Structures are given as structure tokens and as C-alpha cells.
Amino acid sequence: MRLLLVEDDKDLNRQIKAALIDNGYVVDSAQDGEEGHFLGSTEAYDAVVLDLGLPLMDGISVLESWRREGHKMPVLILTARDRWNDKVAGFDAGADDYVAKPFHMEELLARLRALIRRAAGHASSEITCGPILLDTKTSRIFVNDAQVKLTSLEFRLLSYMLHQQGRVISRTELVEHLYDQDFDRDSNTIEVFVGRIRKKLGTNMLKTVRGLGYQLIEEGV
């Protein structure tokens, strides 16, 4: 899962980014509204954390512009504690959720998990596909109740496939959701990671769809 963080407070930006990375996400961050707007318009994100008070372009304008352009990714806004009108303006501009500053990082993380799974059509915090279970609260994956040890990149790949199960995902889409913008992306390495994940899962559920990409699907379906 790949997230965009737009926050001009340098310390807060660093803190949130570190917490998101700790929790298994790849993160692009921007410190002003123009750069944030550009990234959100041109890159693929599973969710965005957007501060409202930003230099160059304010958060509400950024969000309105994304929605006008048809970008549908979930957006969580950061608002000031006493500014109820910011929350109203944010929702009206297309926000999906908010946290008011100062906030507990755990709350921000929980709200992001909920937004990401909801956007993929999952109501429960545990996402299953046959014998595979992803516990989004703890970022752990089990097969038949036994935990599967994955590297962070393998986890991101499988977590994305579990959220998007049943759908054929192209290599390009996978690369977009696994790496940050600075990474030298090579979609050929995806096949290697998929091979390793298959071995660790011990199932044949992560299929290669020739010429199209990959599909996670319950066997016998």
C-alpha cells in the first residue's frame, strides 16, 4: 500500500511518515499544497493524509481539484481541534475522514486502515481469501492459522492482492502501489517476489494471468 502525506509542519510530517513506514506503507510526502496536488494527480495512492493549512495551495483547494479531476482515492484530512467548519468544508470538498490535531498516531493509523479496506470493499479488519487471512490491525498474514513470515515488500504485495482479491492486477499497477516515487522501479522483479510469496504461502492461489498480470483467487472458484 502506498500513501501520500501532505503536511507542512516539518516535525509532524517526519513523525507521521515514520509511523506510516513502521506500519508497512510506502510513503511519498509533500510539504506544500502545490507539490501535494501534483503528486496526488499523477501518482497512484491507496490513501492520502492531507493537512488543510498549507502554503502555496490550501488543503481544501487541493482536495476539490483532485475530485474535480476524478481522483477517487480515500482522503483523510488533518484539522485544527476547534475548527468544526474546517471539517464540514473538508467533507464537502470530498474528504472521507478527518482527525483533529493534536491526535494519537494510533487513531490516525486505525482510520487509515479502515479507509483503505473500505475503499477496496472490505468491512471487516480481517480480510480473508480461502485459507489466507490478513489481520490489518497487526499487519500479519496467516495461512490456515499459521503466521507467514514475509519481508516488508512481500507483505505490501500480498496485502495489496488481498485487498484487491479476484481482480487481475497488472505488473504496472503493482509497482505503482509497492514503491515510492524515488524508487528505481523495475517491474521484472515483481515476478521474483510473486514466486517467493507463492512458496511461503504453500498454495497456488496467487496466479499469473499471462500477458495481463496477477490474480489472487480462492482455489476451486
Among residues 32 and 218, whose Cβ is nearest to Ca ion? 32
If one asks whether residue 8 binds Ca ion (CB under 5 A), the answer comes out as yes
Compare residues 58 and 218 and give the one whose CB is closer to Ca ion.
Answer: 58
Asked if 91 and 70 count as a contact pair (C-beta separation under 8 A), the reply is no
**58 contributes a contact to Ca ion by CB under 5 A:** no
171 φ, ψ to 5°? -60, -40
φ/ψ (deg, to 5) at 45? -125, 145
Selected range binding Ca ion among 49-57, 140-148, 187-195, 201-209, rule: CB under 5 A: 49-57
CB of 96 to Ca ion, least distance (A): 19
Burial of 196 (C-beta count, 10 Å sphere; 0-12/13-18/19+): middle
Compute CA distances 82 → 68, 101, 105, whole Å. Answer: 28, 9, 19
Does 61 interact with Ca ion (rule: CB under 5 A)?
Answer: no
Burial 121-144 (b: 16+ CB within 10 A, else e): ebeeeebebbbbbbebeebebebe
Using the minimum distance from each CB to Ca ion, give the nearer residue, 51 or 176.
51
Considering only residues 35, 46, 51, 96, which one is a binding residue for Ca ion as defined by CB under 5 A?
Answer: 51
Query: Which residue of 43, 44, 53, 91 would you call a contact of Ca ion, by CB under 5 A?
Result: 53
Cα 189 to Cα 10: distance, rounded to the nearest angstrom: 34
Q: How far is the CB of 25 from Ca ion (least distance, A)?
A: 21
User: How far is residue 79's CA from residue 205's CA, in Å, rounded to a whole number?
Assistant: 42
Q: Please identify, using beta-carbon distances, which residue of 46 and 51 lies nearer to Ca ion.
A: 51
- The residue among 77 and 162 lying less far from Ca ion, judged by its C-beta, is 77
**Which residue, 8 or 180, is less far from Ca ion as judged by CB?**
8
Size of the residue set binding Ca ion (CB under 5 A):
3
Is residue 180 a contact partner of residue 27, using CB atoms and an 8 Å limit?
yes
Q: In what order do the strands lie in the sheet with 168-169?
A: 168-169, 213-216, 206-209
Residue 9 Cβ vs Ca ion, minimum distance, rounded to whole Å: 5
**At closest approach, how far in Å is the CB of 101 from Ca ion?**
9
Residue range at the interface with Ca ion (CB under 5 A); choices 33-41, 52-60, 132-140, 156-164: 52-60
Give least dist CB 51 to Ca ion, A.
4
State the residues that interact with Ca ion by CB under 5 A.
Answer: 8, 51, 53
